[in-house]
C-alpha cells in the first residue's frame, strides 16, 4: 500500500525495558541504560568510554567548571585524584576557592526561593540552593594572606596553586590531593576568582608576580608528550577551551572524550559546542570515541564515575 513504510526489526536493537531491582549496584543500573533511549543511553556510553580511559594507557584530563564544590562534588574529584585517575586538572578559580573554604568550614543547604535581600542582611551568599557565610570569606582572605609565597621571581599559576595545596592540611581537599599526587592543576582564569583578587592585594605590599602565560607551555608539553589522551569535560567554559586548544599546536588529538553539560549548541557558545565540532578543529581525533551527556553534572558525574570504578574494582 502506498505511504506505508516497512521496517525490519532486529531483536538485538530492541529497546530494553529497564527493570529496577532492590539493591542493584550503580553499574548494574548504568549497564541497563545501554539499551534504553535518550540520555540514559548516552550516560551508559559515557561510562563505557570512561572505563576505557581509566583502565588504558591514556593521559587523563579532567576539566571542571560550574559550582561543583559547593554542590557537594569535592570528594568525587579528590578521590579520583588520589586514586590515580586524573593526570591533569583544569578548573575554575571558584571551585578552588570553595575547595579551600571546605578545608576549614562548610557550605550549607538553603533554598533557591530564599529572599536574597534578607540573606544579604544577615551576611549570607547564595549559590542556587546552597548558602555560604560572609565570615567564611573573611577567614579565606586571612588564610590567603598568610600562605601566599613571597617571590622575587615570577612563578606560573600552576606553581602558585601547587604551593597553596602544600599548605592546606585537609587531605580531602582537591588542591592538597593534587599536591600529594603530583597532579598539575591549571586555572587559566585565575584572576577571575577570589584567589586572584587576594593574590593582587598581597602583591601590593609584598613581592609576588604570576606569569599568566607560563601555564600554556606546560600544558602544551603534556599534550605533546601524550601518546594517547582522554578528557572528561564537566560543564564547559574556560577550562574546556584551555584544555582542547592545547592540542592544536601538537601533532596529537584527544582519543577519548566525554562532555557532561546542560548547554546546547544552537547559540554557538563553547559550553554547548558538540565534541564532533571539536573534530573539525583537530582537537579531537576523527577516530575518537566520544559522547555528550546532557544533564546536571551533579547527577551524571557521580553515576558515571561510580559505574566505572565498580568495573575496575571487579
Q: What is the per-residue pLDDT across 169-190, written as a single tens digit (0 to 9) for each?
A: 999 999 999 999 999 999 999 9
Q: Provide the pLDDT for residue 151.
A: 84
pLDDT, tens only, 87-110: 999 999 999 999 999 999 999 999
CA dihedral 110, 116, 118, 121 (to 10 degrees): 100
Domain locations along the chain? 58-296
Q: Provide the pLDDT for residue 212.
A: 86
List the one residue out of 291, 280, 284, 213 whose CA is nearest residue 252.
284
pLDDT at 48 over 70: yes
**Parallel, antiparallel or unpaired: strands 130-133 and 108-109:** antiparallel
pLDDT at 290 over 60: yes
Place of cell 551527556: 293
The residue-averaged pLDDT of 27-52 equals 96
Q: Provide the pLDDT for residue 11.
A: 65
Three-state DSSP state, 156: strand
List the one residue out of 310, 217, 233, 213 whose CA is nearest residue 277.
233
Say whether pTM exceeds 0.85. Answer: yes
Q: Provide the pLDDT for residue 100.
A: 97
**Parallel, antiparallel or unpaired: strands 229-234 and 59-64:** parallel
List the one residue out of 286, 243, 230, 293 whose CA is nearest residue 54.
230
Q: Provide the pLDDT for residue 264.
A: 87
> Cα(108)–Cα(96) distance, rounded to whole angstroms?
17
pLDDT classification of 269: cutoffs 50, 70, 90: confident
pLDDT classification of 3: cutoffs 50, 70, 90: low
Q: Over the chain, what is the mean pLDDT?
A: 94
Q: Check 240, 283, 313, 314 and give the catalytic one.
A: 283
pLDDT, tens only, 200-257: 999 999 999 999 899 999 999 999 999 999 999 999 999 999 999 999 999 999 999 9
Rounded percentage of the chain residues whose pLDDT exceeds 90: 88
283 is catalytic: yes
Residues 6+ apart with CB under 8 A from 40: 18, 33
Q: Which CATH class is domain 58-296?
A: alpha beta
Say if residues 263 and 271 touch (Cβ distance below 8 Å): yes
pLDDT at 6 over 70: no
pLDDT classification of 12: cutoffs 50, 70, 90: low
Say if residues 74 and 174 touch (Cβ distance below 8 Å): yes
pLDDT classification of 7: cutoffs 50, 70, 90: low
Say if residues 90 and 64 touch (Cβ distance below 8 Å): yes
Q: Provide the pLDDT for residue 259.
A: 97
Three-state DSSP state, 132: strand
Alpha helices for 10-148 (secondary structure H): 26-33, 38-55, 74-82, 93-102, 116-121, 134-147
pLDDT classification of 1: cutoffs 50, 70, 90: low
> Cα(263)–Cα(281) distance, rounded to whole angstroms?
20
Amino acid at each position: 500500500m502506498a505511504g506505508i513504510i516497512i521496517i525490519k526489526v532486529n531483536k538485538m536493537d530492541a529497546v530494553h525495558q529497564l527493570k529496577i531491582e532492590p539493591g542493584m549496584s550503580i553499574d548494574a543500573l548504568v549497564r541497563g541504560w545501554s539499551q534504553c533511549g535518550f540520555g540514559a543511553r548516552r550516560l551508559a556510553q559515557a561510562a563505557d568510554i570512561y572505563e576505557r580511559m581509566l583502565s588504558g594507557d591514556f593521559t587523563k584530563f579532567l576539566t571542571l567548571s560550574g559550582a561543583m564544590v559547593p554542590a557537594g562534588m569535592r570528594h568525587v574529584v579528590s578521590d579520583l585524584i588520589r586514586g590515580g585517575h586524573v593526570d591533569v586538572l583544569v578548573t575554575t578559580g571558584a571551585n578552588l576557592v570553595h575547595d579551600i573554604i571546605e578545608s576549614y568550614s562548610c557550605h550549607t543547604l538553603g533554598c533557591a526561593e530564599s529572599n536574597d535581600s534578607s540573606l544579604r542582611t544577615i551576611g549570607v551568599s547564595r549559590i542556587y540552593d546552597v548558602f555560604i557565610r560572609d565570615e567564611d570569606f573573611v577567614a579565606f582572605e586571612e588564610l590567603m594572606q598568610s600562605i601566599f609565597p613571597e617571590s622575587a621571581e615570577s612563578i606560573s599559576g600552576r606553581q602558585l596553586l601547587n604551593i597553596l595545596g602544600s599548605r592546606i592540611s585537609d587531605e580531602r581537599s582537591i588542591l592538597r590531593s593534587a599536591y600529594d599526587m603530583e597532579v598539575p592543576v591549571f586555572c587559566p582564569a585565575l584572576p577571575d576568582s577570589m584567589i586572584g583578587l587576594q593574590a593582587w592585594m598581597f602583591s601590593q605590599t609584598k613581592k609576588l608576580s604570576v606569569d599568566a602565560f607560563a601555564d600554556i607551555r606546560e600544558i602544551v608539553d603534556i599534550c605533546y608528550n601524550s601518546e594517547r589522551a582522554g578528557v572528561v569535560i564537566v560543564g564547559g567554559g574556560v577550562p574546556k577551551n584551555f584544555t582542547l586548544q592545547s592540542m592544536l599546536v601538537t601533532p596529537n588529538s584527544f582519543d577519548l572524550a566525554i562532555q557532561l553539560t546542560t548547554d546546547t549548541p544552537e547559540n554557538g557558545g563553547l559550553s554547548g559546542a558538540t565534541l564532533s565540532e571539536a573534530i573539525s578543529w583537530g582537537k579531537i581525533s576523527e577516530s575518537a570515541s566520544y559522547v555528550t551527556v546532557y544533564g546536571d553534572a551533579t547527577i551524571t558525574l557521580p553515576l558515571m564515575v561510580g559505574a566505572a570504578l565498580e568495573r575496575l574494582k571487579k
